[in-house]
């Protein structure tokens, strides 16, 4: 029996495009309940300037309240070295830096070239080593499967970026289908290529379900050995610089897929569905996706831990 790690990115990716500003106390409750449901890692906030993303103006308050929750790994998104400095000062144990394999997307998103972002990550690693050596630094490669602005992204470029980020000191590599272009064959091919470049460095896959292939792509990644994935409650999420991209893969459905195919997640899926129902009341008018919440778990389903017992 193998384990699969599912990280909830709903508090960050899931909230970055919603219309309502979610109260801080609701974000804290979300984190507590998703951890209580067995989710091992939660991306709790984004350390971007409040004027750019007002949803995350309460980042310090959210971090202060959620770092004390036991039993999970808190992480946060950082856009640049200044965001990293905030993360180090706040004591967040893991920071996620993201750049785009698509030059045009990188310019639209953070107004710099991809290579400039790679160089910036190198400076962040140096800063980490000097001031917060215990902090885990993950490096994400967005638009790895294609881009709504640029179109095709050369696969060789994705491999080059992964190798360079590892060489600079990334503790984990995240490969992202930011705009939901990926298909299962492409997922197998690109992830196999990335794994050849990064060796035994941990790899996490970030998927969007824009064209209904999100879970099929997760299944394909499982086949080639990927064991860590991003997902969000209710499939919330999207990118402001990825026109037409819908939400992340649904956390409840992703947990069901993993458990139903023999991978242990440690997650109480029914508790996730209950949390989703609460979040829906906080975000009226927002689109929530997912089949488990709609249809329920089959009577034949037994979580891995229950099977083992």
Residue 231 β-bridge partners: 8
Closest CA to 176 of 280, 165, 47: 165
- Collapsed DSSP state (helix, strand, coil) of residue 39: coil
Whether residue 239 lies in the annotated active site: yes
Euclidean distance between CA atoms 254 and 246, whole angstroms:
16
Closest CA to 145 of 79, 189, 104: 189
Q: Of 31, 147, 166, 239, which residue is the catalytic one?
A: 239
* Cβ neighbourhood burial of 233 (10 Å; 0-12, 13-18, 19+): buried
CB 94 within 8 A of CB 57: no
Q: What is the DSSP letter of 22?
A: P
> What is the number of other CB atoms lying within 10 angstroms of the CB of residue 308?
9
Per the structure block, which two tokens stand in for 41? 């890692």
Q: Known catalytic residues?
A: 239
């Amino acid at each position: 029996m193998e384990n699969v790690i599912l990280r909830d990115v709903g508090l960050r990716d899931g909230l970055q495009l919603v219309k309502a500003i979610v109260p801080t106390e609701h974000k804290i409750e979300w984190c507590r309940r998703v951890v209580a449901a067995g989710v091992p890692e939660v991306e709790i906030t984004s350390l971007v300037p409040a004027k750019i993303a007002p949803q995350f103006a309460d980042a310090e308050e959210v971090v202060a309240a959620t770092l004390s929750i036991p039993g999970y790994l808190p992480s946060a998104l950082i856009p640049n070295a200044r965001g990293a400095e905030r993360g180090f000062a706040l004591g967040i144990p893991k920071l996620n830096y993201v750049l785009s394999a698509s030059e045009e997307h990188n310019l639209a998103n953070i107004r710099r070239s991809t290579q400039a972002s790679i160089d910036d990550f190198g400076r962040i690693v140096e800063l980490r080593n000097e001031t917060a050596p215990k902090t885990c630094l993950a490096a994400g490669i967005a638009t790895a499967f294609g881009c709504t602005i640029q179109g095709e992204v050369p696969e060789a470029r994705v491999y080059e970026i992964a190798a360079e980020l590892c060489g600079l000191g990334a503790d984990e590599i995240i490969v992202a289908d930011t705009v939901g272009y990926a298909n299962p064959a492409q997922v197998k091919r690109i992830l196999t290529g990335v794994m050849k470049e990064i060796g035994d460095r941990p790899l996490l896959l970030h998927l969007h379900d824009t064209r209904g292939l999100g879970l099929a792509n997760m299944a394909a990644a499982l086949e080639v050995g990927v064991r860590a994935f991003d997902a969000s409650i209710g499939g919330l999420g999207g990118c402001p610089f990825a026109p037409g991209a819908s939400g992340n893969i649904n956390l409840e459905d992703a947990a069901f897929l993993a458990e139903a195919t023999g991978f242990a997640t440690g997650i109480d899926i029914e508790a996730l569905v209950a949390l989703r129902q609460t979040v829906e009341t906080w975000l009226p008018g927002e689109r929530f996706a997912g089949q488990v919440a709609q249809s329920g778990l089959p009577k034949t389903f037994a979580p891995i831990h229950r099977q083992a017992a």
